[in-house]
Structure 1
Amino acid sequence: MGDAGRGPLIESVTSAVVGVTDFGPHLDLFCGELGFEVAAEGVVEAADAARLWGAGLGDVEVRLLTAAGAATGRVHLLKVDDPVAPAEHPHTLDVGLAGLNLYTRDIDASHDRLVGAGHPWISEPSRYEVPLGETVVSVTEGYCLGPDGVGLVFVQPANARGTQAWRTDPGRHYTELTSVVAHVPDFEAELAFWGPDGLGLSAWYDVTFSSPGIEEMADLPEGTVLRLAFVASAEGGSARIELTRVESGHRGVDRRGVQRPARGLGHTGWSVRTEDVDAAVRRASGTGGRVVCRPFDTSTPLHGDARLAVVETPNGISVELWHPF
């Protein structure tokens, strides 16, 4: 298939890829507490696992989690038998993949319930203000420490944008994942990779700000200045990419070397559905990405019958591109 025009090739990130030592604690959290369902399970066979994630893994056990059947904001759980590093929760100052965000109807009730279930939070839910055009809006968030280094950011929005799970089931307490977050040193290169001349998303919000509220919520030093951009489909209704960069000189650990799908624990990559994986790979390569695995045809529990490839963004984030047959 060709790559005619410069139209969008993706709608945003379809799934976050999460490495686990044991499915049980994650199923207890995502399914037992947050209302996700196991939509598929099985193994990615060794030959496919080697192409996608590197040699020597053998068969990789996987689970696909969805919220109210939403086609976006999903979770791919990959069982990691020999992790490259111990599980550790990324800090907002750390470089690499960070939190997984989702909406809650009542953040105080979520905090009390999840803490009682053994999932501690960095702090009580906090409210902070961010600029939005000529106005300022309030955001209420809290950071929960999940198993295997997974960080979950719960957001009680003042004005919730539409989500697929809440449209399907308006009575749900939680949505699908609404954002996946990455702290990237080369902000402009990452925007170009995902943007209109890259895979086709729009950066509709790009601000630099500081806030005592976010410092409290995320355990940040006083005076931390953040740049934040939301990157998503112009159509809306899909999980967004949140790109961040600390502009105030504070720095944490660079975690990108251990955030490798099927080898690392916690948030280790993204899976992105496209209508034309070959064109998406060409576009990614032409906007600063690195091709890790050329497109090939296969069938897995995570994708069904599909054509898959793997690229890395200019900041080293592993992205699986695929389109279903």
Structure 2
Amino acid sequence: MSDHGPAPLVEGITAAIVGVRDVDPHLAFYRDRLGYEVAAEGTVPAAVADALWGTGTAGVEAVALAAAGADTGRIHLVRVPEPLAPAEQPHNLDVGLIGIDMYARDIETAYAQFTEAGLAWSTPPATYGVAVGEQEVMVTQGVCPAPDGTAVVFVQPATVRGTAAWDADPGRLYTELTSVVCHVPDADAEVGFWGPDGLGMSVWYDVVFSSPGFDTVAGLPSGTRMRLAFLAGEKTARIEVTSAEGEHGVDRRPTQRPGRSLGHSGWAVRTRDLDAALDSVRRTGGSVLGEPVETADPLHGKGAAASVTTPNGVSVTLYEPRA
């Protein structure tokens, strides 16, 4: 324990879990085009996968992708033979998991290269402002559909904020995942779950704003008022919790389950103390879906893991590595 209270139970979102029908198109996208490396691959044993995700009696093929060797901000590809629903990219007003974000060094060049390769972006690069206190923060981003319904958001930051991949390899065109996005009905509960009084992430800002530029980029009705809470730990990926005033879109939470759904279907989060993290989950309105299970697999290494949901039903695999 430090002079500032107990150490945070989590350091950030270690990985986004992405369900895939076939690994090869994802390797072509993330590895060959974006420069991620295969950090580990193999099978999550049947007993572990079923305990965590309810996948049944077969082992689950999995690949862990890392940017410049970073142990955080990763992409966990999990093969799903019989998905709960067809692949479909979420809309920003849908409830549940939305996009996965990473920095691009030159977003216009990235867009041109993708276009030349025949890969269309659903949202070309655009710049908009977000009011944070008395300042307006300018954001430049674009969205490219990845295989199996995953929305990859490329952001060219005005100010670079801690990225392990660019620290390790400043010449890279793309970073590890810098943030993951969920759109939820109860933002207060989600912030409480992840924040300083929960699992220990910091609230960098929590604002309500309306921006014509953002409405255009995000495909929102004109004049939409959006709450954006940005939570950060010591490492990427950070969390963008969004909540729009008024009508929501499709509730995708029932079909966003790791190991059973295609696309962005959950988060993997490393913790220093699994028992304490599970206590925090219960205390802050989340649900623990089963007892911790011991594992040694390509996604979590050797350790103990448990499946939980946040107060808004986001699926999270918490795990504690063993020495």
Q: Is the TM-score greater than 0.5?
A: yes
* Separation in structure 2 between the aligned mates of residue 296 and residue 145 of structure 1, nearest angstrom: 34
Deviation at 1:109, TM superposition (A): 1.0
Report sequence identity in percent.
Answer: 57
Secondary structure in structure 1 of the residue aligned to 2:140:
strand
Question: Does residue 65 in structure 1 map to residue 65 in structure 2?
Answer: yes
**Residue 242 of structure 1: aligned partner:** 240
For the residue of structure 2 that corresponds to 1:65, the secondary structure is strand
State the one-letter code of the partner of 1:256: R
Shift of 1:6: 4.5
Residues 215 and 57 of structure 1: is their aligned pair in 2 closer, same or farther, counting only changes over 3 Å? farther
Amino acid at match of 1:218: A
- Give the number of equivalent residue pairs: 318
User: Matches of 2:231 and 2:24 in 1, distance apart?
Assistant: 32
- Which runs of 5 or more structure 1 residues have no equivalent in the other structure? none
Corresponding residue for 1:163? 163
Residue of structure 2 aligned with 1:301, choices 285, 295, 298: 298
Give SS of 2:215's match.
helix
Shift of the alpha carbon at 1:111?
1.1
SS in 1 for 2:290: strand
Give 2:281's match in structure 1, choosing from 281, 284, 290. 284
2-structure distance, mates of 1:83, 1:172: 34
Q: Is the 8 A contact 2:95 2:251 kept in 1?
A: yes
Q: Which residue of 2 aligns with 1:211?
A: 211
Supply the distance in 2 between the matched residues of 1:294 and 1:276 (Cα, whole angstroms): 15
> Normalization by structure 2: what TM-score?
0.96
In the TM superposition, what is the alpha-carbon distance from 1:57 to its structure 2 partner? 5.1
Are the aligned partners of 1:95 and 1:185 in contact in 2 as well (CA < 8 Å)?
A: yes
Q: Deviations over 1:131-169 (max 9, x none)?
A: 122211211010111110000110001111120000000
2:18 match = 18
The 8 Å contact of residues 265 and 315 in structure 2, kept in 1 or not, is answered as yes
> Please, which of 297, 315, 318 is the counterpart of residue 318 of structure 1?
315
- Look up the SS of the partner of 1:38 in the other structure: strand
Residue 214 of structure 1: how far off its partner (Å): 1.4
Q: Is the 8 A contact 2:258 2:315 kept in 1?
A: yes
How many Å apart are 1:176 and its aligned residue?
Answer: 0.3
Shift of 1:276: 0.8
Aligned counterparts of 2:220 and 2:301: Cα–Cα separation in 1 = 42
Q: How does 1:223-238 map to 2 (within 5 A)?
A: 223-233=223-233, 235=234, 237-238=235-236
Instruction: Confirm or deny that 1:54 pairs with 2:57.
Output: no
Q: Secondary structure of the equivalent of 1:124?
A: strand
Aligned equivalents of 1:253, 1:315: Cα separation in 2: 14
> Superposed, which structure 2 residues align to 1:35-46 within 5 Å?
35-46=35-46
Letter in 2 for 1:246: A
> Structure 1 CA distance, aligned partners of 2:257 and 2:112?
33
1:55 positional shift: 4.7
C-alpha distance in 2, partners of 1:123/1:138? 17
**Other-structure match for 2:106:** 106
How many angstroms apart in 2 are the aligned matches of 1:316 and 1:57? 25
CA distance in 2, matches of 1:119, 1:288: 41
Q: Deviations over 1:177-219 (max 9, x none)?
A: 0000000101111111111121111112111111121122122
Measure, in 1, the Cα distance between the counterparts of 2:112 and 2:212: 23
Measure, in 2, the Cα distance between the counterparts of 1:117 and 1:270.
Answer: 30
Give the residue type in structure 1 aligned to 2:267.
W
SS in 1 for 2:24: helix
Q: Which residue of 2 aligns with 1:86?
A: 86
- Checking the alignment, whether the CA contact within 8 Å between 1:7 and 1:196 is kept in structure 2 is no
Q: Distance in 2 between matches of 1:21 and 1:296?
A: 26
2:191 partner SS: helix
CA distance in 1, matches of 2:194, 2:11: 10
Corresponding residue SS for 1:270: strand
8 A contact 2:177–2:236 mirrored in 1: no
- 2:259 pairs with one of 259, 262, 265: 262
Contact 1:203 1:229 in 2 (8 A): yes
Alignment partners' CA distance in 2, 1:92 and 1:174: 23
Q: Which amino acid aligns with 1:294?
A: E
CA RMSD of aligned residues (A): 1.2
What is the deviation of 1:124?
A: 2.0
- Structure 1: how far apart are the matches of 2:290 and 2:38? 27
Tell me the residue number matched to 1:252: 249
Shift of the alpha carbon at 1:304?
1.3
One-letter identity of the residue aligned with 2:136:
V
Kept after mapping to 2: 8 A contact 1:123/1:216: no
Deviations 1:204-254 (A, max 9, x none): 211111112112212221111110011112x4x42101000011x132100
**Alpha-carbon distance, 1:293 to partner:** 2.2
Distance 1:40 1:108 in 2: 32
